[in-house]
Amino acid sequence: MKSRGEILRGHYAELLKRAAVWAGAVSIMVTALVVPTSAQAAQITSRKATLSTSVPSATDNVVFSFTTGPTYTVKGIKFEMCTSPLQSVSCTAPTGADFSTASTTLGGQTGISGFAETAKTTTSYSINSASGTAVNNTAVTVTINGLTNPSTANQEFYFRITTFTDTGYSLPTVNGQDFGGIAVDTTQTLSVTANVQEDLTFCVGTSGTTCSNITGSTVTLAPNPMTTSSASKGSAVMAASTNATSGYVITYNATSFTDTTSDTITAAGTGGVALGAGGSEQFGFNLAANSGGNFGTFGSAPSGGTGTATAPYATNNQIAYNTAGATQVASATGPSALTLYTMSYGANVAITTKPGAYTATQTFIATGTF
């Protein structure tokens, strides 16, 4: 029969064995709950790619902007152009896309300095700097000129940016120090078309300022009836505009100032003469702002647009009149907005001028040079 001491020793030994088993089980459970940590790249923040053109197959200049992560120095940066933005997916170039056409010289860099291209392929463009300057949440821009856009219109594709802490693009060993994907698109070229036709606007009347309100067809000289003691005057207007490359020319064809008995008041001629005070026969007009002389303050110079009066019709207080064919009175040398012309008529009679109703007609013609 066992002694009391032996019985107690056996009991405690059994308890210790059970405790050891439970301790082992707990150790296994704790081990199973501990997840191994793997080195994963963080996300580059504030990232974007600004294209100079979204036209398919076009030569593109791209400004990449992003902010680096904290507590490390960037010595290498790899840019990729892929059909997927995911780092875990192999980079396949979109159809027609090509990074290898990009310029070896960077178009610009900020937030970093001394970085230069070291390698380029269809899908990637890598730059590095042994000094490495981008540290601790640095805003960085890199401009790469001359890459080729994908050839398909309205296609989404992706740029990837990966930063490294060494110039060999190997550290850290898992997926770069930081990473980010950027979605961009090519777009169909949009053309907007419209036709502009040749245009020449021209109108003649006795009053008004534009072709929408110029009216009237008869100019009555005043004083009427005419006297030998002073000149009689009257005015009419015309307006012209065009988009013709070489502008326009305005001419007139005229009849003499004649009454029903065929008596004629002498035309002023093609060279122009000063308007007299009365007593000698005269008839003609000008397109000038008359002041002083026998016209007094009467008429206006051409206004608006680029049209001008032609000599001698542009001379103050001087009249001219030609009844022998077409005569130029105004012109514009290029496209012109609406120019308003005022024709100032002046006439004088002699003591021998027969009484009667005198009439002269002019047909004005505007010809555009397109």
Does the pLDDT of residue 88 top 50, yes or no? yes
- 161-190 pLDDT, tens digit per residue, is 999 999 999 988 766 778 999 999 999 988
Tokens 């056409």 sit on residue: 101
Q: Are residues 53 and 181 located together in one domain of the fold?
A: yes
Contacting residues for 34 by C-beta, under 8 A, at least 6 apart? none
Tokens of 230: 């002073």
pLDDT confidence tier of residue 158, bands split at 50, 70 and 90:
very high
Higher-confidence residue of 15 and 321: namely 321
Q: Are residues 115 and 211 located together in one domain of the fold?
A: no
Q: Is residue 190 part of a domain?
A: no
On whether the CB atoms of residues 297 and 245 are closer than 8 A, the answer is no
Q: Are residues 69 and 168 located together in one domain of the fold?
A: yes
Q: Are residues 342 and 230 located together in one domain of the fold?
A: yes
Task: Answer with the one of 129, 157, 185 that is the final residue of a domain.
Answer: 185
DSSP 1: -
Task: Answer with the one of 159, 185, 211 that is the final residue of a domain.
Answer: 185
Higher-confidence residue of 98 and 191: namely 98
Q: State the distance between the two ends of the chain, measured CA to CA, in whole angstroms.
A: 137
Q: Are residues 238 and 352 located together in one domain of the fold?
A: yes
Q: Is residue 11 part of a domain?
A: no
Does the pLDDT of residue 223 top 70, yes or no? yes
Q: Is residue 8 part of a domain?
A: no
pLDDT confidence tier of residue 73, bands split at 50, 70 and 90:
confident
Domain span at residue 103?
42-185
Task: Answer with the one of 157, 185, 213 that is the final residue of a domain.
Answer: 185
Q: Are residues 97 and 245 located together in one domain of the fold?
A: no
Q: Are residues 212 and 179 located together in one domain of the fold?
A: no
- Judging by beta carbons within 10 Å of its beta carbon (0-12, 13-18, 19+), is residue 190 exposed, middle or buried? exposed
Residue type, 237: V
Q: Are residues 101 and 64 located together in one domain of the fold?
A: yes
Does the pLDDT of residue 39 top 50, yes or no? no
Domains identified in the chain, total number: 2
- 261-271 pLDDT, tens digit per residue, is 899 999 999 99
Q: Are residues 56 and 153 located together in one domain of the fold?
A: yes
Q: Rounding to the nearest 10 degrees, give the CA dihedral for residues 129, 133, 135, 139.
A: -100
- 353-362 pLDDT, tens digit per residue, is 999 999 999 9
Q: How many helices (H) and strands (E) does the chain have?
A: 1, 24
User: What's the whole-number mean pLDDT along residues 274-298?
Assistant: 97
Q: Are residues 360 and 213 located together in one domain of the fold?
A: yes
Rounded Cα distance, 156 and 362, in Å: 69
Does the pLDDT of residue 135 top 80, yes or no? no
Q: Is residue 164 part of a domain?
A: yes
Does the pLDDT of residue 12 top 70, yes or no? no
Does the pLDDT of residue 36 top 70, yes or no? no
Q: Is residue 266 part of a domain?
A: yes
Q: Are residues 141 and 230 located together in one domain of the fold?
A: no
Q: Is residue 37 part of a domain?
A: no
Q: Is residue 283 part of a domain?
A: yes
Q: Is residue 4 part of a domain?
A: no
pLDDT the model gives residue 9: 57
Question: For residue 345, what are the CA distances in angstroms to 25, 164, 206, 280, 288?
Answer: 123, 89, 12, 16, 11
Q: Are residues 347 and 220 located together in one domain of the fold?
A: yes
- CATH at residue 153: 2.60.40
On whether the CB atoms of residues 69 and 42 are closer than 8 A, the answer is yes
User: What's the whole-number mean pLDDT along residues 320-334?
Assistant: 97
